[in-house]
Structure 1
């Protein structure tokens, strides 16, 4: 559980304690109550220190979260609200809060036709009513790229819940290269979006090999009728994809240092939107800027490089330079 959520649970717990005026609360009582509340939410013991609760009280007293809670100490050890009717749950929504919620609503509305967000339609409408959105604010001023015609989006809900509930599925799949459909038992692990397309990372037949499946090539998905125990790989997407651009990860391939040069006119686009988190600027001259990234060489990397056309030159490694040269030569041949 995120630390900020833990803090909110503690604030709410302290608030509930101080609203109970039939009991006198010392600091140890508040610590115990916070520990019990976190145990209830997380199902495990969570250590709450004296210093943590003291800082929580200090935060609640301040206006950083808009609480300005009138918490006072009496008889040198007991805590209470100076105003008996006070509660942090009664804090009114400010104009700034309404502005932020309006902006959030406009972003959420762009996802309302997306299968995973369909159930949020009513929530969004109620939010709009609650924050009294002005008519002039109903036109979105943030537009996110999306493609409602993408195939496979209808599978996201099913896969999402299968991962969440650790279910083995029977999937009928047909890759672009295959002549026939194939039926596969999968242990779904992670949903991944790249370049406005969706992919599923799953353990395939017999649960031995992690495989990436494109959602637009899934024919159907059903619950497995076989008595198979789900294998959870505990995949952290940030870790699993840290050495690649895109979704193609080869477990036995070592990342390589890729060096490339972009002409000076286009270099700012690469500086402000790096190819990869490992990107470094090596040098700059009158011909362009030289960069390096350390990644696995895969199909997606080649597509990114080819997307820059004649403005980029791969300097290393040689085999990548040769592959890009060959692709560009074949492309040129099409125009001759």
Structure 2
């Protein structure tokens, strides 16, 4: 059975998204009457399967707002638009972007226009997202949770943790939690979770959660600062690579300036971690680390050891 409420929300998001300019700002506001007309033109609307009324539209918009899609109503223009959130609400802005992308994808997948043969997904194993709702609830309720975890380097084991939040990185999901036996912050990949058991009658103190949230402020990836201090990192990228780095910044502190030789210099205030090193190595000959010296030496060492494998 189709979820027509979901279909209605998908259609509303698509229509409002099409009314944004290239910077994501509304170029026009859409009235409720225009939304009704548009919904009636959808296949479900034409077949009479979709409930279309002012009340149903209001209900769908409220549901979207509850998912952090920032739909605003303008009394001046008498219409609706999706608006960007302020810079100090970066996490909510990222959530809104992902939710909108999800609705757009559902909208494409639900239509029967023969799109499937043109849509190729990355082949990958299960991501462990079956645990997502359970773990988010345990984070919200501050419930002590037991996870059965099988890391790449150890045998499967049970761990009691204080779950703080869930983090995504490179298409995978991770639980950020306090390992109660070690009293240390740890990162657990969802795809290596075997079982999750929540103890709703056992809760934890929230005092370390804020510290955990800021643990990644000056880092990229899933390896936190681990008491490291952020430092100035300077890299130079080729003209080709610079376009990718500019449009997908390594970190929110990124600044850039073009050099006379066609290369581009990028500067950051971040901690040097394994994920940063791995990312820069993936750029190959398209990047040069200028500072700090320690990172530059690690890059040279890794590249020399790779070269030795081909001798």
User: Please, what TM-score do these two structures have when normalized by structure 1?
Assistant: 0.56
Which one of the candidate residues 137, 155, 159 is aligned to 1:161? 137
Change (3 A) 1:254 1:302: same
Which one of the candidate residues 270, 273, 295 is aligned to 2:248? 273
Instruction: Give the C-alpha shift of residue 203 in structure 1.
Output: 1.3
1:64 aligns with 2:39: no
1:292 aligns with 2:259: no
Aligned residue pairs, count: 221
Q: Secondary structure of 2:259's partner?
A: strand
What are the Cα deviations for residues 127-162 of structure 1, in whole angstroms up to 9, with x where unaligned? x7xxxx7x55x748x979765523423222221222
Q: Is the 8 A contact 1:207 1:231 kept in 2?
A: no
Q: Is the 8 A contact 1:187 1:207 kept in 2?
A: no
Provide the residue aligned with 1:200 in structure 2. 175
Give the aligned CA root-mean-square deviation in angstroms.
3.5
Instruction: Give the Cα separation in 2 of the matches to 1:237 and 1:108.
Output: 33
Q: Is the 8 A contact 2:220 2:275 kept in 1?
A: yes
Change (3 A) 1:335 1:109: farther
Q: Is the 8 A contact 1:174 1:219 kept in 2?
A: yes
Provide the residue aligned with 2:281 in structure 1. 306
Instruction: Give the C-alpha shift of residue 310 in structure 1.
Output: 0.9
Provide the residue aligned with 2:12 in structure 1. none
Which one of the candidate residues 190, 209, 234 is aligned to 1:215? 190
What are the Cα deviations for residues 102-140 of structure 1, in whole angstroms up to 9, with x where unaligned? 997542357x9xxxxxxxxxxxxxxx7xxxx7x55x748
Instruction: Give the Cα separation in 1 of the matches to 2:76 and 2:248.
Output: 42
User: Please, what TM-score do these two structures have when normalized by structure 2?
Assistant: 0.60
What are the Cα deviations for residues 30-54 of structure 1, in whole angstroms up to 9, with x where unaligned? xxxxxxxxxxxxxxxxxxxxxxxxx
Provide the residue aligned with 2:148 in structure 1. 172
Q: Secondary structure of 1:310's partner?
A: helix
Instruction: Give the Cα separation in 2 of the matches to 1:206 and 1:228.
Output: 16
Q: Is the 8 A contact 2:216 2:225 kept in 1?
A: no
Provide the residue aligned with 2:106 in structure 1. 108
Instruction: Give the C-alpha shift of residue 213 in structure 1.
Output: 1.1
Change (3 A) 1:211 1:107: same
Instruction: Give the Cα separation in 2 of the matches to 1:149 and 1:300.
Output: 22
Q: Is the 8 A contact 2:215 2:225 kept in 1?
A: no
Q: Secondary structure of 1:193's partner?
A: strand
Q: Is the 8 A contact 2:174 2:187 kept in 1?
A: yes
Q: Is the 8 A contact 1:279 1:293 kept in 2?
A: yes
Instruction: Give the C-alpha shift of residue 285 in structure 1.
Output: 2.5
Provide the residue aligned with 1:152 in structure 2. 128
Instruction: Give the C-alpha shift of residue 223 in structure 1.
Output: 2.7
Provide the residue aligned with 1:231 in structure 2. 205
